[in-house]
Structure 1
Amino acid sequence: MYFDHAEGPVFRPPSEAASFILRVTIGCSHNACTFCNMYRSVAFRARPMHEIMDQIAAARPYAQHIRRIFLADGNALVLATDKLLAILRELAGSFPRLQRVSCYAGPKDILRKTPEELAALREAGLKLVYFGLESGDDLVLKNINKGVSAAEAVAAGQRIVAAGIKLSVMVILGLGGTANSERHAQNTALAINAIKPHMLGALTLMLYRGSELLAEFERGSFVPLPPAGIMHELYAMIHAIDLPATNHCLFRSTHASNHIAFAATLPKDKEQLLADIKTAETKLSRITNWDPYNNVE
């Protein structure tokens, strides 16, 4: 649900399907990751308050049905804290049944917020942040032009958790290709161990038209993992994730990009999840006619 006719495409996490999508920015302020083409068609801009308030006003007649609100587009935390607090206050006053507000956030934007600012945003209603870690490996992060080191990405995730905001971390299986699969799996697991997110989502790499990574693949400098290789990488990653028994991290690989969907709670279900991944790897290893272009969109 959104009430907006501004330029650019609208994206949201699968779990926000029933949410009011409030576009507080247009596009992504980084917009340079080599694997992503989501916002390549639109120039980034922070929206003036009157455009934001117009969307809220249009949604008010549906207030009794609105329990969740997602602040789009790519990284709402790029906005100044005072502006975000004003938006959150307006949402709290406009939607009496509101349970949570969530957003995407880039690591640099998180690190620009002080712990006190993040705590204030939590108190004002920001309950969940979706953070695209992608990888915990420095080389992979450099190759995809993420703009941060693994240490910076981990620090960003830890800052959200420390602020008492729920954190959903997204990683991308296959992002290192065949050359860097092992280091991608191991170092991403180490990053997850350090962050201790509340939710962990695994997507499988798609090669998008207009992205630099697709061009690398077509030049032969990037070799994607086949389906069984993706399962092998996922197994290595989950095997190396070592969260305290008191943690309850919801793991999901139910995104449309994935070959096989998994759902578990870590660390409680770790052994069963590993067994299920191994079974899936065996099954997918029987595929003999896999074409990397099946993963091109």
Structure 2
Amino acid sequence: MHYEGMMIRPPSEANSILLQVTLGCSHNKCTFCGTFREKRFNIKKDDIIFEDIEFARNHCQRQNRLFICDGDAMIVPQKRLTKILKRIKDRLPWVERVGLYANTKSIGMKTDEQLKELHDLGVKIAYMGLESGDDHILKEIRKGADSAKMIKMGRRLKKSGIKLSITVLLGLGGQERSKVHATETGRVLSAIDPDFVGALTLMLIPGTELNDQYEKGEFKLISPEEMLEELGLMIASTHLSNGLFHANHASNYLPIRAKLPQEKEKTLELISQALKGNVELKPEFMRAL
């Protein structure tokens, strides 16, 4: 495989074939994220992508899922993206699901018909970073979209038949906006009604603007207990019709996997017990991105 630089993928894609189609992130401005700072966004040449598909054909026949890297593969123009998906379908017929990252800009560049076409060509899940439902926070972190746009694009993606997994970031509002962050994020998640929610816990990355703000005292990170309180309020404010709420990422202090609405009360009770000291939290040295 012709991998370049650092790549990331969702935890649920751990056993997937990783096909690098783009380099970096098309937005790459979020103040908390340092993942693709060293990469200038680019789309790789088709001949290299197709060589990697052939490698997968010869060496990855036990993997029935494929994830398209890097940060925002849906931004690839429709004609090129469908060409790649057709090649995957032709050369890797055992692949049952293709996943990719998407943001509001890339979703907005596709028509409803084009999103449906991507679904029909094998894209069964897309991962979108909401981070927060609070418009003030979204502006501060330079996310590039407000909550209304997040809701609109999330709903459009779901309408196409593509399953939607949304990432939110605990602690992103700091001490000042923790409660607002939790309730507003719950509001937006409820409006989108995604299939999956993944809650990560903020870890400050040296070299990012948010870390600089923290070191200057302009951003105050909340404690592990406050993170749990925020998580509980967020879950209480989130009303899904039939979704999974995950908070079992390596960054989280308390692993949670709950089906909503069925397991909401049980999960809130678990958080309550953890806050009382009856459930052990993950020690700081074991947390990771």
TM-score normalised by length of structure 2: 0.95
Deviation at 1:36, TM superposition (A): 0.3
Cα offset for 1:114? 1.0
Q: Deviations over 1:47-75 (max 9, x none)?
A: 12112112112211125213000000000
State the alpha-carbon separation in 2 of the partners of residues 256 and 296 from structure 1.
5
Please point out which of 174, 177, 182 is paired with 1:177: 174
Counterpart residue identity of residue 31, structure 2: T
Task: Name 1:80's counterpart in structure 2.
Answer: 77
CA distance in 1, matches of 2:179, 2:225: 14
The letter for the 1-side match of 2:128 is F
* Alpha-carbon spacing, 1:63–1:142, altered in 2? closer, same or farther (3 Å): same
- Give the Cα–Cα distance (whole angstroms) in 1 for the partners of residues 277 and 167 of structure 2: 25
| 2:228 corresponds to | 231
Q: Distance in 1 between matches of 2:26 and 2:64?
A: 28
Alignment of 1:9-158 (within 5 A): 9-158=6-155
The aligned amino acid for 1:261 is P
Tell me the TM-score normalised to structure 1 length.
0.92
- Counting matched residue pairs gives 288
Which blocks of at least 5 consecutive residues in structure 1 are unaligned? none
Q: 1:268 aligns with which of 255, 262, 274?
A: 262
Deviation at 1:283, TM superposition (A): 2.2
- Secondary structure in 2 matching 1:147: coil
> Judging changes above 3 Å, is the alpha-carbon distance between structure 1 residues 30 and 284 closer, same or farther for their aligned structure 2 residues?
farther
Structure 2 distance, partners of 1:17, 1:236, is 30
The DSSP-based 3-state class of the residue aligned with 2:32 is coil
**Which amino acid in the other structure matches residue 270 of structure 1?**
K
* Counterpart Cα distance in 1 of 2:268 and 2:3: 45
In structure 2, how many angstroms separate the alpha carbons of the residues matched to 1:148 and 1:86? 29
Letter in 1 for 2:2: D
Partner of 1:251: 245
Give the CA deviation at 1:5.
3.6
| TM-fit CA distance, 1:281 | 2.1
What is the 5 A alignment of 1:151-230?
Answer: 151-230=148-227
Q: Whole-Å Cα distance in 2 between the matches of residues 123 and 180 of structure 1?
A: 41
Find the aligned partners of 2:288 and 2:128 in 1 and give their Cα distance.
Answer: 24
Closer/same/farther in 2, CA of residues 266 and 296 from structure 1, 3 Å limit: closer
Check whether the contact 2:252–2:287 (CA below 8 A) recurs between aligned residues. no
Contact 1:207 1:295 in 2 (8 A): no
Give the 3 Å change call, closer, same or farther, for CA 199–182 of structure 1 in structure 2: same
Q: Distance in 2 between matches of 1:121 and 1:284?
A: 47
Identity within the alignment, %: 40
Whether the aligned pair in 2 keeps the contact of 1:227 and 1:285 (CA below 8 Å) is no
Deviations 1:175-212 (A, max 9, x none): 11011111111110010111000011100001011111
Alignment of 1:4 with 2:2, yes or no, is: yes
Amino acid at match of 2:141: I
CA positional deviation for 1:24: 0.7
Distance, in Å, in 1 between the alignment partners of 2:2 and 2:128 is 24
Moved over 6 A (4+): 284-287, 293-297
**Pairwise CA distance, 1:105:** 0.8
Q: CA deviation at 1:251?
A: 1.2
8 Å contact kept, 1:200–1:249 = yes
Cα RMSD (Å) of the superposition?
2.0
Alignment gaps of 5+ in structure 2: none
- Match for residue 278 of structure 1? 272
Task: Report the AA paired with residue 81 of structure 1.
Answer: Q
TM superposition shift of 1:285: 11
